[in-house]
């Protein structure tokens, strides 16, 4: 308990899946949470859960590819809680599960990069100045093992996720002396609404393929990623920056 006491955290994608689990856990650990999502109904349900459990949280409608939305979100965080200490870039979208480069639709490619890569850039761009005012902060970006391994997602999705690693390393180097840390989590297959496609009959073979690639023999839970994000957001990781942390059941050990 209280691993994030006194900290103010912006969490994107907080209306469902991994982002929702992070919002609940961070609030439980003492953070004041600003949850952002386009799914306002799901988001408000999560905020209500947090408040019912005694935590502090507010929800904002946030299109992560919009600079104006990001400016408004950060302004709301500062006006409500006085500062920004933590940013967790969780929101993202999946593209065509099997999309080879020569077959990839250019518009779909642009959409994947606008949400999965530009969204994290904008969140960092507008949060870092407030972290500097607060004496430092932590940026945790949820990426994917597709950033490091081929065959784990469509080409556009993998390219966007790989871009998050480059973004994170540069933030870590550029702002390290200002006590702003930046790290990436690389989840494997996690049981979320985004991965629900693997539970269909049509995807039965794909699901078994990913299970066979996972040494632990099962998919992860959103809480597995949330606890990793909690560690990287907290002062327990104060000497860790610029890393990629797999939370993948051992896939990358193959």
Question: 1: which 2 tokens?
Answer: 């308990």
Bridge-based pairing of strands 56-61 and 32-37 is parallel
Distance, in Å, from the CA atom of 94 to the CA atom of 242, rounded to the nearest integer, reads: 24
Which of 105, 159, 167 is closest to 140 using CA atoms? 167
Count Cα atoms within 13 angstroms, Cβ side, for 33. Answer: 38
Which of 189, 236, 229 is closest to 209 using CA atoms? 189
Examine the residue annotation and report whether 81 is marked as an active-site residue of this protein. Answer: no
Which of 99, 107, 226, 125 is closest to 182 using CA atoms? 125
CA of 94: how far to CAs of 113, 212, 217, in Å?
Answer: 11, 21, 23
Catalytic residue (choose from 157, 175, 210, 227) = 157
- What contacts 24+ positions apart, CB below 8 Å, involve 172-180? 172/241, 172/242, 173/242, 175/128, 175/132, 176/241, 176/242, 178/131, 178/132, 178/136, 179/135, 179/136, 179/137, 180/128, 180/131, 180/132, 180/136, 180/137, 180/138, 180/139
- Residues with active-site annotation: 157
């Amino acid at each position: 308990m209280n691993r994030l006491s006194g900290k103010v955290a912006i969490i994107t994608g907080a209306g469902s899946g991994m982002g929702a689990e992070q919002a609940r856990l961070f609030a439980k650990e003492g953070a004041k949470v600003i949850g952002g999502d386009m799914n306002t109904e799901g988001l408000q349900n999560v905020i209500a859960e947090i408040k019912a459990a005694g935590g502090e949280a507010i929800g904002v409608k946030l299109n992560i590819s919009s600079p104006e939305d990001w400016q408004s979100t950060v302004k709301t965080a500062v006006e409500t809680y006085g500062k920004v200490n933590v940013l967790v870039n969780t929101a993202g979208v999946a593209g065509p599960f099997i999309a080879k480069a020569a077959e990839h639709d250019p518009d779909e490619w642009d959409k994947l990069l606008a949400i999965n890569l530009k969204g994290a850039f904008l969140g960092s761009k507008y949060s870092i100045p407030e972290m500097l005012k607060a004496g430092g902060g932590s940026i945790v970006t949820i990426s994917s093992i597709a950033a490091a391994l081929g065959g784990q997602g469509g080409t556009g999705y993998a390219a966007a996720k790989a871009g998050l690693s480059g973004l994170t390393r540069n933030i870590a180097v550029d702002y390290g002396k200002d006590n702003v840390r930046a790290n990436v989590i690389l989840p494997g297959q996690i049981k979320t609404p985004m991965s629900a496609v693997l539970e269909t009959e049509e995807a039965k073979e794909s699901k078994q393929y990913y299970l066979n690639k996972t040494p632990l023999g099962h998919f992860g839970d959103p809480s597995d990623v949330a606890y990793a994000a909690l560690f990287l957001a907290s002062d327990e990781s104060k000497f860790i920056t610029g890393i990629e942390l797999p939370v993948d059941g051992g896939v990358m050990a193959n």
